[in-house]
Structures are given as structure tokens and as C-alpha cells.
Structure 1
Amino acid sequence: MKMVKRIVLALLVLLLSSSLFATGQAETAAKPVVLKVSMAETSTDIKGDIIKDMAAEVESATNGRIKFEIYYSNELGSLADVTEQMVMGGNILAGTSGDFYATYGSPDIMGTALLYALPTPDAVQKFNDSPLFQKMANDIEKASGLKMLCMNWAAAPRSVMSTKPINNIADLKNLKLRVPGAAVSAFFQALGSSTESMPFSEIYTAMSQGVLQACEAPLSTLYSYSLHEVAKNIYLSEHSLAPSCWAMSATIFNSLSSADQKVLQDAMVKYGKVFTQKGLETQASYRQKMEEAGVKFVKPSAVDVETLKKAGKASFAMFPNMTAGLFDQISAIIY
């Protein structure tokens, strides 16, 4: 009888231990992956609302296994800082133009940011879906541990906003212009501008103090940073859609189930299309708001547009680390 009791007791202990172990496993499995979204834009920018919609869809589709915290106006630090955190395995999701990632394993990704290389939203999407972009993404993951989710978040066309009138390309010469990276810098330097890099959140002060004379961005971003208060001129160069490449730690991405990986990546591509379309739809309304605030718009002449396009194509030669003939490879994909 004692032996039977001992066996029963042992079975009960084993059953209880198994139950506690299973509960512990379930709690561990249920712990969500929290991604901190780092944005340069303000919370009132178009991108802010679309990121919120993307986050809500992914959280719902993964039953809360992936969650998001959204940080605006570079609250988490500069792009360089957050990218290094991602390389080290930090739980951050961030996006910017391809030229920034050129030193992380794929010099050719610079081509996605060079001006007039991807001139339309359709061209951006075609390249996002291409084997060539996938190769660039794979090279970056192998070299630096960054997972490139997509590159199709094309902003509305970027134009130049300045404290002094710009009536033609000649007026760009010697202009103190803020640029986001090497691709845009090379382009405007070729046109004679004096370029400078700084966080977008510092442009308002720099312009109001005369340290900076101009910057370039979509109308929505210019307006959301209230730059129309300190600069009253816009040259509608529409020189780039500046598609953002969104990246995160490959270690964290690979820790997700294959199903959750697909949900996240599909959502990023989907809302990239939404962002692009929304930006195009709101151009007219932002222009109206800025005109009401006293901003004057100048449209480039046909001759100036052709000069801008030629400068864009010629800029490929300024980056010898890229594959020879890359411009033609991109053109073959998008046309």
C-alpha cells in the first residue's frame, strides 16, 4: 500500500512540475517583441499617422506578439546612434534613404537615393520588388546584421525651401543648404550649393539665425516643422522622392516566427504604398496652407528641369564604389 501511495505521489509531483513548466513556457512565449520606431518627423507629419496604422495592424495580426512604441523628432537619438544600436541587436525600427546604408554592406544601395534614379512611385515599387534590391538587402544583413524590410516609403516630391528667392538653377550657387545625406549633398554641390548636414529638428533655429539659407524636403515635412515661419520661398524642383529603406536588427527579426516575419514585412511594404499615395494626395493642400502663410512658389523652367535630370544621372559617377553600369541596371528594372 505504501508503495502505491509513493507511486501516486510521484505521479502527482511529476504532473504538477509539468504543468508549471508548461505555464512558464507559455509565459515566455507570450512575451511580446517590442519594436521602438525611431522617426525624424514630428507626430503631426503624415508618416506619423501611417506608422500608427501599420503598428495597429501588425499588433492585431500577431495577437500582440509584436508591439510598437513610436518616437518622433529623433527622440531616441540621431540616425547614426539608433542604427548602431540596431547593429548591436537593439529593438529599434528606423528608416531613411539608401545612401545612409551604403557603408553597412552594400555600396550599390546608394543608387536608390541618387536623384532622378527612381523618378516615380511606380519605379520605386518595382525596384522594391526586384531581385537587385533583395541582393542589396542580403549583402547588408551579412555584413552588419541589419534586416532591410523594404525601401518603398517614397515621400512626396522634395523641393527646396529658402530664406532668399530662388528663381532658377543659378540661384542655387553658394546657397547654404541643409542636406540629409551624401546622395543629395553630391547633387547640390555639383549645382554650386554649399551643403551642410544637421538633424531636421535644428533647421528652424539655423534658418532663423541665418546660419542656414535653405533645406529640401516634401511640403508636408516642411510645414509640419513650421519652416514657413522663417523661410518664405519654395523652388519646386521636385528632385527626389527619397524612398526610405526601413531596417531593424536581423537578430530580432530572425527570432520571430516565419508567420510573424511575413506579417511585419508585408505590412511595411503595404503601408509604404499608402504613405506614398497619401503624400501625393496632400501636396495641393500643403501648398495652399503655405501660400496662405506668405510662402511664394517658383516652378523651374523646362531647361532647368533637364539640367537637374542630367545632374542626377551624372551623380552616379561620383560614387566609384558602386557597380559600374548601376544606373542602366536600375533603368532596366523600372522601365
Structure 2
Amino acid sequence: MTIMTRRAFVGTTGLATLALSMPAVKRARAADFRYKYANNLPVTHPLNIRAKEAAAAISKDTNGRFEMQIFPNNQLGSDTDVLGQLRSGAVEFFTLSGLILSTLVPVASINGIGFAFPDYATVWKAMDGELGAYIRGQIDKAGLVVMEKIWDNGFRQITSSTKPIATPADLKGFKIRVPVSPLWTSMFEAFGASPTSINFAEVYTSLQTKVVEGQENPLAIIQTAKLYEVQKYCSMTNHMWDGFWFLANKDMWDAVPKDIQDVVAKHINAAAIEARKDTAALN
């Protein structure tokens, strides 16, 4: 697989959707397992591009027995809503930031400590190493299944409609949207900002209507979610690295035969590695 540019992502989205939707019609009756995969990212984001490739490979290698249906862009609800659906079995797969998952698994937020990672080499040494293994063990104890490789979300940057954020002092009184996580809130409160927890599905509207002045996200999300349309400044703060754990409902996962589990996990983990390259290129 090759690294995709912004132009390639946008240009191939329509073709990828058509290419994957047609075989799905043929496989629908034959599939023994039709599992829903939800995420909160635009269809043009690397995560969804690579997830579509993984879904096609899984279907092929299981001879159509396993079909992964992708629901991007909060189609099935907000992050907190879908986490509940995942736990109940209404949704089988979900990718979620560790900082939001920390409402269920507290240690999952550890990668979100401000300025903990100076670069990607340090990130992957930790998250593909002992730290990542420990977090996955805690997720397992919470009754969820988690894939081995965490998906890259990227280093987070601050955008604003009112002023550039050049120094910590610029955050004083700054009304900023943060995800629903105590760690995000406490970090920006420490800088004297005024953080508001808002689910990602409502971020664009909240910025557009001036409920908040700014937000913080990796460049890939700022680009694919078109947040630049409602923001004027982007400050390269690199204040936090964030990633998505690929989660599964345990009962639904255990219902899948081991040989098919192995195929699904193999392609999901491989897609995560490819998406890391894509996201790094966009960032």
C-alpha cells in the first residue's frame, strides 16, 4: 500500500465508496457475520479509507462469511452514545480516543498527558510496547476486546476564530471546545482557558455559532472535517498526542470462529499501520 496525499484521499473517496458498495450487495445474504463498525471521522479521513480496504480484504479472505459495515462521521451517534451501544452489543466495532474511553478505563487517558510525547518515534515505542500492552490489558478487564495496534489520530493543534495562540498567556479566558474527558478539561483550565466539553459531532456548529472561540485537533481532522471554514488561525502547539483504540463487543467477538477472528484482526491491525503513514503525511 502507498501513502495517500490530501488530493488522493478526496479524489478517490467516491470511487472507493462505489467499489465497496457493489460487492456488499452480493455478499449481504451470504455473510454469516455482518458487524457494524462506527467512528466519528469524515469519510475522507485516512482511518475510513484504510478501514474500507480492510473490510474488502476481510470479506475476500473469509469467502464472504464476514462483512464489516462502516458507519463514519457519527452516523450512529456521539462518542458517548456509541460507547454505550458497543457495550450493549448494538454496535460490534468502534474506534475511540483513549481519553474518552477513560470514562470507563481510567488508565486509557495516559497518552493524553500534555507534552508527554516529543515525536512519533516516542509515541510508537510506548504504544506498541509495554505501555500499550498494559492499557490493552485494562481494556480487556473492562469487558471489551481491543485490537493490538492503536490507530493514529495525531498531535493536536489549537485553532481559533479570534486570535492566534502564540504563548500560554494567550489561552487566558479563551473559550475552547474540548472532547468529553476530564484530562482535556483540567489541562486547559491549568492554562487559564475556559474549556467546554462538546462531542465531535457538534464541533463545526459550535464554532460556526460562536458558542466557543476555538478547538484543538490534529491537522488531518481540521482538514477533513473542514474546520478551517469556521476558524481563522491555527497554532502548531503539539500539546498532546491522541490515538484511537479499535474496540469490539466481547460477546459478539466471541461468537466469531477463531479462524475468522484471526483474519479480521490481521487486516484491522495492518490497516492501522497504513493509516499511521497516511495521517503522518497529512499532518
When normalised by structure 1's length, the TM-score is 0.69
Query: Which residue type is aligned with residue 164 of structure 1?
Result: T
> Are the structure 2 counterparts of residues 268 and 31 from structure 1 closer, same or farther at C-alpha, using a change threshold of 3 Å?
closer
Q: How does 1:168-247 map to 2 (within 5 A)?
A: 168-180=167-179, 181-247=181-247
User: RMSD between aligned alpha carbons?
Assistant: 2.1
SS at match of 1:95: strand
Mapped to 2, the partners of 1:36 and 1:53 lie a distance apart of 15
Equivalent-residue separation in structure 1 for 2:149 and 2:216 (angstroms): 20
In 2, Cα distance between the equivalents of 1:183 and 1:208?
25
The equivalences for 1:1-80 within 5 A come to: 31-80=31-80
Deviations 1:17-61 (A, max 9, x none): xxxxxxxxxxxxx64222212121111223221211121122222
Distance change >3 Å, CA 108–CA 34, structure 1 → 2: same
> Contact 2:31 / 2:67 at 8 angstroms: preserved in 1?
no
Instruction: Give how far 1:131 is off.
Output: 4.6
> Residues 172 and 95 (structure 1 numbering): CA distance in 2 closer, same or farther, change over 3 Å?
same
Aligned 8 A contact 2:173 2:192 in 1: yes
Deviation at 1:98, TM superposition (A): 1.1
Letter paired with 1:204: Y
User: In structure 2, do the counterparts of structure 1 residues 85 and 212 end up closer, same or farther at CA, with 3 Å as the change threshold?
Assistant: same
1:124·1:154 contact (CA, 8 Å) conserved in 2? Answer: no
Quickly say closer, same or farther: Cα 1:33–1:85, change in 2 above 3 A.
same
Q: Partners of 2:176 and 2:163 in 1: how far apart?
A: 13
Q: CA deviation at 1:268?
A: 2.3
1:156 maps to what in 2?
154
Contact 2:78–2:201 (CA under 8 A) maintained in structure 1: no
- Point out which structure has higher relative CO (alpha carbons under 8 A, 6+ apart): 2
Change (3 A) 1:129 1:65: farther
SS of match in other structure, 2:274: helix
In the other structure, the counterpart of 1:289 is none
Deviates more, 1:163-172 or 1:197-206: 197-206
Higher Rg of the two aligned structures:
1
Cα distance per residue 1:261-318 (max 9 Å; x no partner): 22222222222221121112123xxxxxxxxxxxxxxxxxxxxxxxxxxxxxxxxxxx
Partner Cα separation in structure 1 for residue 58 and residue 170 of structure 2: 46
CA contact (8 A) 2:152 2:242 kept: yes
- Residues 119 and 241 of structure 1 are in contact (CA less than 8 Å); yes or no, is this contact kept in structure 2? no
2:186 aligned partner, one-letter code: A
User: What displacement does 1:118 show?
Assistant: 4.1
Alignment match, 2:273:
273
User: Which residue of structure 2 aligns with residue 136 of structure 1?
Assistant: 135
Give the unaligned 5+ runs of structure 2. Answer: 1-29
Structure 1 match to 2:120: 121
Percent identity over the alignment? 26
Secondary structure of 1:273's counterpart equals helix
- Asked if structure 2 preserves the Cα contact closer than 8 Å seen for 1:204 and 1:230, the reply is yes
- Indicate if the aligned counterparts of 2:111 and 2:241 stay in contact, CA closer than 8 A: no
The answer to whether the 8 Å contact 2:92/2:252 transfers is no
Aligned AA for 1:83?
Answer: L
Q: Deviations over 1:125-172 (max 9, x none)?
A: 3334435433433333333x2111145211232201101122222111
Contact 1:121–1:154 (CA under 8 A) maintained in structure 2: no
Aligned residues of 2:39 and 2:96 also touching (Cα < 8 A): no
CA distance in 2, matches of 1:36, 1:78: 15
Deviations 1:225-283 (A, max 9, x none): 22222211011002223011111101111222222222222222222221121112123
Equivalent residues of 1:203, 1:212 under 8 A apart: no
- Contact 2:154–2:280 (Cα < 8 Å) also in 1: yes
Q: Quickly say closer, same or farther: Cα 1:35–1:128, change in 2 above 3 A.
A: farther
Give the secondary-structure state (helix, strand or coil) at the position aligned to 2:236: strand
Match of 1:110 in 2: 109
State the secondary structure of the residue aligned to 2:36. Answer: strand
Could you tell me which runs of 5 or more consecutive residues in structure 1 were left unpaired when the two chains were aligned. 1-29, 284-335
Corresponding residue of 1:295? none
Question: What residue identity is the alignment partner of 1:62?
Answer: T
Quote the Cα distance in structure 2 between the aligned partners of 1:35 and 1:118.
35
Cα distance change of structure 1 residues 150 and 229 upon mapping to structure 2, 3 Å threshold = same
